[in-house]
């Protein structure tokens, strides 16, 4: 199914700030953010009141691929422009003066048909004496390009870099993961476990790779893992799965926003196929509507397979909103923004705790009294009471976690396995609960409401990161839930270990023995 982009969304194709003068005339860039298209014709470009025909237009697709518009218009063959690729328009015309200008591009792209992009952009005088990091347009991941940046860094800083420059993989594998690649930061990887997981997706013993520079971290998690194993392992359950993008629509008044929200709810079955037309994986589950002032915030919720899915759901929501903008029959939509800050991407938030972002996972275990006393030197009553006191501290401070340090284990595993580490800001949220059972043992569980993980895409395919995922058996289709359960189990191990250490006053002595306190 093909969606039709609205004029409001087509404006987002233009790369803001790309308008500039060149020795041959004027240039600007457009980036395909819609769907893979076949660009079949360029009709004209208009700068302010000056119309420029195809005989004065050339498209630079990068890597030396420059195509005169008149040529591909004439043969009718056109060319494919994949999602994410940019095209720079070079116009043989008089240079523009500094200031604000109107840019209009009229073109044809299959399967959408005739499209028009009209925006305003500025010509700004940028001094030519700026210090620039070296890069190569042809192949910025070549050995020559990388060595040029290494020399630049050494000359600029006056330092020699021995370790930064050494790595064991083909730098071309980093395209899409790192720009201006210069070298690597080697982070120590320690092993904890094996951890016995009783999950619905992860079942068995797993060796845990943890990338960290914090002394005692691996030892602390290993101690908690041993305790869980002695009590039969950790039970892990995924109870929710949703990735969001949250656009906002602006109206003249509150009634316009309210009526729009009702219309969206009534037309979900029409919106869903528009969103899902952009991906074989992303599936729109539901849309939450939140109203405030004259704004309608829509929180689109998707399942995204083995990918974390932030980019995937952005593209899907872009398509859905294009259909909404073109088909909503009510009050005029005055403004639209694809992201309103309501999805809280890379930010901790209460809505994620309540409504889930990524995977919502629970890890739990019943820790036997005698094993807890023997291994951790605390009783179930001591740990449960300590948890009550800590709840007051977490409540008073406004923390997003009433546990001890779930971010430690999550971050160490994220770095080791190629996750987007900034997602720790959301993934670190946790709800810890414990009680003394009628038998006198300790029941303890933690809910991670917004664990954002992937076993496909992002950095998961890079050299050492993929090896760590293979160590966990989390490579291949259908492994992301397995990975989420393992992470949750590790988090619970860390909560037990540190909570017991603080309760028994072992915390400082452990850092003295293993850490950097001396």
Helix (H, G, I), strand (E, B) or coil at 27: strand
What's the distance, CA 307 to chain centroid? 10
The 3-class secondary structure across 5-43, one letter per residue, is: CCHHHHHHHECCCCCEEECCEEEEEEECCCCCEEEEEEE
Q: Which of 140, 276, 345, 420 is catalytic?
A: 420
What's the distance, CA 18 to chain centroid? 25
Q: Count the alpha carbons within 13 Å of 386 in the hemisphere toward its beta carbon.
A: 20
What's the rounded Cα separation, in Å, for the pair 221 and 486?
13
In the residue annotation, 467 being an active-site residue is answered as no
Q: Which of 60, 214, 259, 339 is catalytic?
A: 214
CB atoms within 10 A of CB 366: 15
**Closest by Cα among 112, 94, 108 to 47:** 94
In the residue annotation, 214 being an active-site residue is answered as yes
In the numeric block, which tokens belong to residue 198?
């009783």
Tell which phi-psi region holds residue 369, choosing left (phi > 0), alpha (psi between -120 and 50) or beta: alpha
Asked if the peptide bond before residue 61 counts as cis, ω within 30 degrees of 0, the response is no
Cβ atoms of 422 and 351 within 8 Å: the answer is no
In the residue annotation, 511 being an active-site residue is answered as yes
Question: 469 vs 143, 243, 454, CA distance in Å?
Answer: 28, 22, 10
Cβ atoms of 321 and 9 within 8 Å: the answer is yes
Helix (H, G, I), strand (E, B) or coil at 24: coil
Asked if the peptide bond before residue 70 counts as cis, ω within 30 degrees of 0, the response is no
Which ranges in 107-178 belong to alpha helices (H)? 143-157
Cβ atoms of 420 and 459 within 8 Å: the answer is yes
Strand-pairing partners, residue 508, are none
What's the rounded Cα separation, in Å, for the pair 309 and 438?
43
Residues with active-site annotation:
214, 420, 511
């Amino acid at each position: 199914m093909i969606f039709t982009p609205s004029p409001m969304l087509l404006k987002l194709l233009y790369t803001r700030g790309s308008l500039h003068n060149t020795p041959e005339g004027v240039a600007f860039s457009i980036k395909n953010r819609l769907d893979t298209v076949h660009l079949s014709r360029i009709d004209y470009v208009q700068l302010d009141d000056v119309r420029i025909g195809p005989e004065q237009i050339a498209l630079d697709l990068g890597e030396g691929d420059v195509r005169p518009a008149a040529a591909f218009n004439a043969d009718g063959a056109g060319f494919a422009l994949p999602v994410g690729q940019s095209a720079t328009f070079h116009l043989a015309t008089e240079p523009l003066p500094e200031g604000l200008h109107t840019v209009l591009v009229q073109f044809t792209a299959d399967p959408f048909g005739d499209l028009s992009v009209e925006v305003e952009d500025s010509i700004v005088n940028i001094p030519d004496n700026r210090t620039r990091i070296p890069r190569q347009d042809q192949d910025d991941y070549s050995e020559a390009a990388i060595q040029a940046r290494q020399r630049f860094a050494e000359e600029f800083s006056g330092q020699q870099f021995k370790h930064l420059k050494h790595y064991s993989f083909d730098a071309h594998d980093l395209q899409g993961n790192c720009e201006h690649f210069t070298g690597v930061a080697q982070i120590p990887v320690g092993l904890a476990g094996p951890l016995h997981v009783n999950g619905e997706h992860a079942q068995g013993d797993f060796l845990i790779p943890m990338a960290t520079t914090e002394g005692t971290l691996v030892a602390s998690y290993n101690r908690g893992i041993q305790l869980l194993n002695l009590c039969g392992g950790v039970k892990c359950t995924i109870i929710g799965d949703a990735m969001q993008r949250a656009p906002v629509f602006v109206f003249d008044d509150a009634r316009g926003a309210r009526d729009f929200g009702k219309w969206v709810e009534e037309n979900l079955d029409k919106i869903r196929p528009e969103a899902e037309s952009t991906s074989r994986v992303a599936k729109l589950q539901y849309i939450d509507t939140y109203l405030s002032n004259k704004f309608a915030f829509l929180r689109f919720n998707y399942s995204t397979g083995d990918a974390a899915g932030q980019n995937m759901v952005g593209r899907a929501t872009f398509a859905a909103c294009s259909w909404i903008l073109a088909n909503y029959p009510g009050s005029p939509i005055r403004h639209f923004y694809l992201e309103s800050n309501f999805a809280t991407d890379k930010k901790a938030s209460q809505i994620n705790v309540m409504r889930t972002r990524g995977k919502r996972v629970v890890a739990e275990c019943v820790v036997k009294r005698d094993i807890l006393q023997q291994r951790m030197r605390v009783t179930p009553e001591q740990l449960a009471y300590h948890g009550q006191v800590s709840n007051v501290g977490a409540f008073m401070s406004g923390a997003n976690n009433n546990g001890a340090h779930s971010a430690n284990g999550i971050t160490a595993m994220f770095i080791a396995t190629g996750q987007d580490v900034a997602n720790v800001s959301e993934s670190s949220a946790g709800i810890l609960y414990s009680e003394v059972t009628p038998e006198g043992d300790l029941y303890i569980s933690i809910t991670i409401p917004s664990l954002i993980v992937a076993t496909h895409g992002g950095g998961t395919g890079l050299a050492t990161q993929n090896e760590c995922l293979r160590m966990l058996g989390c490579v291949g289709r259908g492994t992301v839930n397995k990975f989420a359960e393992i992470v949750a189990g590790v988090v619970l191990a860390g909560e037990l270990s540190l909570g017991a250490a603080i309760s028994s006053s072992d915390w400082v002595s452990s850092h003295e023995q293993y850490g950097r306190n001396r």
